[in-house]
Amino acid sequence: MSVQHLETVDCQLVDGVAWVTLNRPDALNAVTWQVGEDLRTALEDAAGEPRARAVVVTGAGRAFSSGADLRDRSLRGEDDGFDVLTILREVLNPVILRVRTLEKPVIAAVNGPAVGVGCSLALAADLIVAARSAYFLLAFVNIGLGLDGGASQSLPARVGHARAMEMALLGERIDAEQAAAWGLANRVVDDEQLRPAVTDLAGKLAAGPPGSYAAIKRTVNERSFQGFAELLDLEAVVQQERAESEDFGEGVAAFTERRPASFTGA
């Protein structure tokens, strides 16, 4: 890969597999504007690299991604309120869409918690392999937000309507074993076996027919992800509405203070 020195994402090409690793381990790979930019750069590089026949997205340290970093100043607008619309439209939605449109298989190697938009990123992948200690959490509702990162479409596509609504509305952790039982994760392996298992799986894909993979993703996207770009933008608009609500302010305060939130509907 031509990209070697990104600020928040590590890129390696190993035996035909592009490994894209979120690299903010001290912050549990929380997503900032810079992370989004680096991810997009890495994915575009993998797309244009003929030696890369498969792509793996994973996280450094003990988390896949803890979701959006609410401390990131790029999330703030001119009035110091939260501007999630801009970062979703300009950075994160293009990343999610690129994962889906990349004409190469994308594996999410979920090495730990996949939370919020981090969970959405994993859901956008073609295959998910999870470490046994990992869990998936659509935490948006816990701080008064809606869904984003395409989860409104990618989650039901994986687990069906009933389980998607349970996960979205309750905001509870789904452990790796439950995720596999639901069809959210394709495989679960012991933590120390995650890298070898993903290396083996990605190697099999890298040895396969690139044209077939491109064709399969194209037709599956046409059915399961029809209108995905429009859905991503709708999520962004609705999420901005929620970010301007009093309930979101209360949700963030409660999270920071480690207490139950008291939502009023305002």
Q: How many CB atoms lie within 10 A of CB 233?
A: 14
Burial of 256 (0-12, 13-18, 19+ CB in 10 A): exposed
Contact 168, 138 (CB under 8 A): yes
β-bridge mates for residue 21, sequence order: 10, 58
Nearest residue to 28 via CA among 54, 65, 1, 56: 65
Full set of structural domains in the chain with CATH: 9-191+209-257 (3.90.226.10)
Distance of CA 75 to the CA centre of its chain: 18
Q: Are strands 174-175 and 114-115 parallel, antiparallel or unpaired?
A: unpaired
Per-residue pLDDT of the chain (266 residues; tens, 9 = 90+): 666 689 999 999 999 999 999 999 999 999 999 999 999 999 999 999 999 999 999 999 999 999 999 888 777 776 778 899 999 999 999 999 999 999 999 999 999 999 999 999 999 999 999 999 999 999 999 999 999 999 999 999 999 999 999 999 999 999 999 999 999 999 999 999 999 999 999 999 999 999 999 999 999 999 999 999 999 999 999 999 999 999 999 999 999 899 999 999 98
Helix (H, G, I), strand (E, B) or coil at 28: coil
Tokens of residue 88, six digits: 């979703």
63: which DSSP letter?
-
pLDDT of 72: 80
Q: How many CB atoms lie within 10 A of CB 4?
A: 10
Distance of CA 11 to the CA centre of its chain: 17
β-bridge mates for residue 76, sequence order: 82
pLDDT of 139: 95
34-45 burial string, b = 16+ CB within 10 Å, else e? bbbbbbbbbbeb
